[in-house]
Structure 1
Amino acid sequence: MNNIVANFAQILEFARQLNLPVEKKRGIIREYLQTKFIHDLYRLPQLKKLSFVGGTSLRLLRNLPRFSEDLDFDNLELETQRLEKLFQTVLEGWKRENITTEWIVNKTKSGVYFEIRLPDLLFELKITSNPKEKLRIKLDQAEHWRGQQTEVMLLNRFGFIEHVVTNTLNEVLVQKLVAYVRRVETQPRDLFDIVWLFAQGARLEEKFMVVNGVTTVLEDAREKFAQEGNPVSFGRRLQPFLFAVSAVQKLALFGSVLGQLAILDQEHS
């Protein structure tokens, strides 16, 4: 038996302290493992060259009020082979803790991403009745972003504490808008996160947009929203990730947030 199974009651107690819905055990154990992975990773050398970004970084470092699935990173000049070695070093430590994992490397036209699979954990924790179901955590890294003004934030949850490199809120807002515009299939979480980021005071970072050639992203986002809108299906798809069902109403504010960003952009120019 590994420590996760033995200490699951304590993990759920930490979740209560974090105001997580304890009935959502699948989301809680995923977030615990994400936290543990980021904690163990950023204890290693050379991690100043890796910026933790995306929805999960907002969740773990800034308390975004929803569960998130993937671990996303901006690769700041780390060789892919070196990065994979760092990831595997973390899992070697997990092996010494009797945590069984599978390591998957996926190569696509757009790049390389990795996946951690835990083959037995959900069944051992009685979260699933299917002994073959695996918990999966995708690790994605992007090398194309430039000009990040990274900052160091304190990861502090589930008994783990560590300094973590991340992008500024303004840069994450730009990246989220780009994700919304470029996805073939819109992800409702992008709309939710953009509304939340705006409420936290995030604004478009002009220099970051210029360096990365995305100066029209707000215009593109408004055009896409005018065509696509906010269908009811977005709310249904987002709800399983939310701590409070009523938070789905934030999606209705997306168009207004885009409008406010446009006004601020005009005032700035």
Structure 2
Amino acid sequence: MTKGALNLQIHKQILTAILLDIFKKFNGKLGFKGGTCAYLFYNLPRASLDLDFDILTSLTESEKDNLRTVLQKHGEIKNFRDKQFTLFFLLDYQKNSPNIKIELNKRIWKNNEYNSIWFLGVEMKIVDKATMLTNKMVALSNRKQPVARDIFDVYYFLKVGFPINEKLIKERTGKNLKDYLNFLLSFIEKNYTPKNVLQGLGEVLDQKQKDWVKKELVSETIKELEKLIK
């Protein structure tokens, strides 16, 4: 993802500008989600480099072209894929800076919930707290390879008291909440260690955070999940 040094302030400004332009054109069609949504609106204590959306109403070919035009205002589209479940753009906004992935998910879970908010004068839909946490929990155990930011985000959301959407857990995993939590605990214990828990997180955390993550993140996340089972 990163092809050069990361200036977080500039990157955040670019992400925000793209986000605003997208919702000026597509409000009502999209729901904002993912790490950057959590960073901007739910105080997630790590930076995020990409933009993730749910497509709430199908986009026409003309609307896809309009989206491409919006993104081209901010840089060069290096890659575009219209896949079965995803629209994907890779945007190069500045030489020697990270590319930005813009991913739009076509497969929407019926138990996702969204809130309408105003941000810098623009109305947009964002996933609510329970949807944010629940989908992140499922992502944690669903990926082909463990992703450290998933466990970091789950820990934070649990620690600050985000609720869990039990219907969404059932819809996505087929398990009730208790069974899924037990499965997730086992998955974390098998797949996350101090050796891999910083992979992909290093450039979005400061040194103090990195030290804590390496020593404490796995055990503290397990403690938070165990509280929910008791």
Q: Point out where structure 1 has 5 or more consecutive residues left out of the alignment.
A: 1-23, 123-132
Q: TM-score, normalised by structure 2?
A: 0.81
- 1:37 equivalenced with 2:37 (yes/no): no
CA distance in 2, matches of 1:250, 1:161: 36
Alpha-carbon offset, residue 232 of structure 1: 2.6
Q: Point out where structure 2 has 5 or more consecutive residues left out of the alignment.
A: none
CA spacing shift, 1:173–1:86, aligned 2, 3 Å: farther
CA spacing shift, 1:28–1:75, aligned 2, 3 Å: same
- 1:151 equivalenced with 2:115 (yes/no): yes
4+ residue stretches of structure 1 with deviation over 4 A?
A: 107-110
CA spacing shift, 1:108–1:90, aligned 2, 3 Å: closer
Q: Match of 1:140?
A: 103
**1:79-123 Cα distance to aligned partner (Å, 9 max, x none):** 36355234224236x2xxxx54236312456543122223xx33x
CA spacing shift, 1:100–1:233, aligned 2, 3 Å: closer
Identity %: 22
The answer to whether the 8 A contact 2:33-2:54 is kept is yes
The answer to whether the 8 A contact 1:173-1:203 is kept is yes
Q: Match of 2:155?
A: 195
User: SS of 2:198's equivalent?
Assistant: helix
CA distance in 1, matches of 2:171, 2:200: 34
Residue type matched to 2:209 in 1? A
CA distance in 1, matches of 2:62, 2:226: 41
Structure number with bigger Rg: 1
Alpha-carbon offset, residue 68 of structure 1: 1.0
Q: TM-score, normalised by structure 1?
A: 0.71
Backbone CA RMSD of aligned residues: 2.7
CA spacing shift, 1:68–1:88, aligned 2, 3 Å: same
Alpha-carbon offset, residue 44 of structure 1: 2.0
User: SS of 1:212's equivalent?
Assistant: helix
Q: Match of 1:26?
A: 7
Q: Match of 2:87?
A: 112
- 1:91 equivalenced with 2:66 (yes/no): no
- 1:66 equivalenced with 2:30 (yes/no): no
Report 1:1-269 matches (<5 A).
Answer: 26-45=7-26, 47-79=27-59, 81=61, 84-91=64-71, 94=73, 99-102=74-77, 104-108=79-83, 111-118=86-93, 121-122=94-95, 133=96, 135-144=98-107, 145-155=109-119, 160-215=120-175, 216-235=179-198, 237-242=200-205, 244-248=206-210, 249-250=212-213, 252-265=216-229
The number of aligned residues is 220
